[in-house]
Amino acid sequence: MFAHTGGGAVPAPFTPGALLEGWDVEPLLMVGVAWLAIAYLVCWKRSRALPGPPLPRWRPLAFLGGLGLLLIATDGPFDRYGDVNMAVHMGQHMVLLYLVAPVLVAGAPLTVLRNGLHPRVRKRWVDPVVESRMLRALSDPMLVAACYLGVLYATHFTGWYNAALGNPAIHDAEHVAYLVAGFALWTVLVGHDGVVVPRSAARRIAVVFAMIVPMTVLAVIFIVAPNPLYPAYVDEPAPWGGRAAALAAQRVAGGVMWLPSVFVTLGLLAWLSVAWYRTDEATRADEPIADAEGASESVVDHREGAGRFEFVREPQQGRFVTPGGREVDGPGQPVGAEGSR
């Protein structure tokens, strides 16, 4: 499953060999990941048959890569040593939040799933939800960021985290919560997913700025806390347990949480600045584009018969698609014929 706490053998001190030997493959997780991969590929293949510009091939690769990273993070040495060392455990969570989640989002799974559904199901059940005001409200970046922070704070400062160390089911729930929260946050911040209407880059930049302080405070609490916050680590047998070892690992965990968040913040700011710039450049050129990197109000093309969400600008191709379906290679430089492919 997602974790293997509670009653497992205590791992020996870490050696490079553990990178090969420290795997605890969970069949249920493997099966789940395999089905997700199959479902994604089937939907992706079906979506390619629809009219409109096809999804680029790197997106399925990204999604499959994200699933692979998920297996590594939850079945590999991270998980084994995370049960006894908080710093490693925090590293595992950072991989889930800052690596697995964005790579999965890069695969645009929501759009692929939506496009792969039977047209009747899509029109009757999915599209009304996608176009609903409620989804638009719920996908506000500020709200999603608040929920993301709420999950992080709730799991770390209630009894959840400590309970998770002794109960695999709670531990799995914790990891699922991180994945969902991370997936939602990355989707609304940088996702190129037509299901969620992206907000302006300025708003998303403001959200990234607003998250800096609470994320930093969360990490610093681990660094400055005078005592171990989770008794389960103290109670671990030698050589992992004991107050001193648990406290040292907890302080390192704070650093593990803080440093990546600095890089992620800078990277996000750069990314969103580029997105804002590209949108603005397209607007300056008076080209009526539907979107550039998801910064305008809608990336969903609801043309009659189109049947699927259209990625109006694919970074791979460097093309924009006008509402009329005309492709342009940057504002004002048509490269394609009128109409969609």
The whole-angstrom separation of Cα 243 and Cα 182 is 31
* Binding positions for other proteins, 217-246, rule CB under 8 A: 217, 220, 223-224, 226
Radius of gyration, alpha carbons of the chain: 22
Work out which of 266, 315, 316, 338 binds other proteins, going by CB under 8 A. 266
CA distance 307 to 52: 9
- Does 278 bind other proteins (CB under 8 A)? Our answer is yes
Total count of residues recorded for the chain: 341
CA contacts within 13 A on the Cβ side of 11 = 24
- Using CB under 8 A as the binding rule, whether residue 137 contacts other proteins is answered as no
> Which residue in this structure is represented by tokens 């929501």?
110
Looking at 110, 279, 293, 311, which residue binds other proteins (CB under 8 A)?
Answer: 279
Q: How far is the CB of 235 from other proteins (least distance, A)?
A: 23
**Are the C-beta atoms of 83 and 96 separated by less than 8 Å?**
no
Among 12, 262, 335, 337, the residue binding other proteins under the rule CB under 8 A is 262
Angle between helices 168-190 and 201-224 (to 10 degrees): 150
From the list 49, 209, 317, 329, which residue makes contact with other proteins (rule: CB under 8 A)?
A: 209
250 scored as a contact of other proteins (CB under 8 A): no
Give residues 146-205 in contact with other proteins (rule: CB under 8 A): 201-202, 205
**Nearest-10 crossing angle of helices 141-157, 201-224:** 10
Examine residue 261 and tell whether it contacts other proteins (CB under 8 A).
no
69 vs 211, beta carbon nearer other proteins: 211
Of 276, 309, 311, 320, the one binding other proteins by CB under 8 A: 276
Q: Does 273 bind other proteins (CB under 8 A)?
A: yes
User: Is 254 in a helix, a strand, or coil?
Assistant: helix
| CA neighbor of 79 nearest in space, from 154, 156, 26, 132 | 26
Binding site for other proteins (CB under 8 A): 201-202, 205, 209, 212-213, 216-217, 220, 223-224, 226, 251, 262, 266, 269, 273-274, 276-281, 284
